[in-house]
Amino acid sequence: MPVSNASHVLVTGGTGFIGSHTVLELINQGYKVVVVDNLCNSCEEPLRRIEKLAGLDHKIPLFKLDLADRDGLRAVFREYAFLSVVHFAALKAVGESVHKPLAYYRNNIAGTLNLLEVMADFGVTNIVFSSSATVYKANSDGSAFREDSELGCTSPYGRTKLYMESIIQDVVNAEKGWNAIMLRYFNPTGAHESGLMGEDPMQIPNNLMPYMSQVAIGKLDKLHVFGTDYNTRDGTGVRDYIHIMDLAEAHVAALKRLPANQGYEVFNIGSGSGQSVLEMIDAMSAASGINIPYSKDPRRSGDIDTILCDPTKAADVLGFKVSRTLQQMCTDLWRWQTNNPNGYAKQ
């Protein structure tokens, strides 16, 4: 149901993969959106596609700004009255973070500190934060993670998420009136069903599904299946994949809950069921009609057998459940990939 008296929502990282799909969903739900993004891993084109899909007669305001630029951020807050902030902006490559920890701590944590300080200065005290399943300590039995499962991560990237959650929790505890919702995403994939929006990796993808779709379209030779000796049903890693538009809807559900003055809350956002790498290859081969070539390679350092989401709390409290199937994830991803073989760049 569209919100009444919509005020502006600031979306940091709103031109990125998850941010852009969420911006579309927010606009479709009646929110007025302002985007801040330094375009370090994205471009402006998704906003043009959103304007087209949502039938907007104006441009979505975009401030090309690094969160490091506190004065720039202050100017944005002076120009718009924000009800809430959805904070996506971050560096997110796990492997890169191992080699460049300081860049990750500086970008993700210092950027978040600036954002929180400016929010506080302007009395904006509602935030939805992009966290990750990576904050959970690996378990050996493959059971689904609940929000109260033990935390602990192995990469600097993961630690930035864990520390940012703690920083936000401290702010909520220290100052009355703050409402913060941490969304711990599992494995987002797919694309908007129009084929106009999707994930557009700037380099060779690190993640399974964008890599696989580039193999299917012939940009990459073959998929490397990292590890076939895991303790799973077929020996390959099992993950909980979620359609990007389901994930976008989860943000709207979180935003609607924020003004309820619940303080600090954490929710897992996933489907509750897991697929192995080989099952994902089968699903994508079926969606694309292409026999995806792959080799069985050694394990990737840092990976574990199974990462599964227990989505019960999000269902009970946010009323959020995924509604799209694995087949839809693959069909939509393939439509995006074939319609936009070069991503958002001019074809």
Please identify, using beta-carbon distances, which residue of 129 and 230 lies nearer to ligand NAD: 129
Please identify, using beta-carbon distances, which residue of 96 and 282 lies nearer to ligand NAD: 96
Q: State phi, psi for 340 to the nearest 5 degrees.
A: -135, 65
- DSSP, residue by residue, 58-101: SPPPEEE--TT-HHHHHHHHHHS-EEEEEE------HHHHHH-H
343/258 Cα distance (integer angstroms): 34
248/252 Cα distance (integer angstroms): 7
Note whether 92 binds ligand WQD by CB under 6 A: yes
Residue ranges in 150-189 that form contacts with ligand WQD under rule CB under 6 A = 187
CB of 39 to ligand WQD, least distance (A): 20
Please identify, using beta-carbon distances, which residue of 216 and 223 lies nearer to ligand WQD: 223
Number of residues that bind ligand NAD (CB under 6 A): 26
Which member of 31, 157, 230, 344 is catalytic?
A: 157
| Rg of the chain on CA atoms, in Å | 19
Please identify, among the stretches 13-21, 110-118, 217-225, 267-275, the one whose residues bind ligand WQD according to the rule CB under 6 A: 217-225
Judged by phi (left if over 0) then psi (alpha if -120 to 50, else beta), residue 319 lies in left
Please identify, using beta-carbon distances, which residue of 34 and 86 lies nearer to ligand WQD: 86
For residue 36, list its beta bridge partners: 12, 63
153/158 Cα distance (integer angstroms): 6
Residue ranges in 125-164 that form contacts with ligand NAD under rule CB under 6 A = 130, 132
Query: Binding residues for ligand WQD, per CB under 6 A?
Result: 92, 94, 132, 134, 187, 206-208, 211, 223-227, 237, 239, 277, 300, 303, 307
Query: Binding residues for ligand NAD, per CB under 6 A?
Result: 13, 15-19, 37-42, 66-68, 88-92, 107, 111, 130, 132, 185, 188
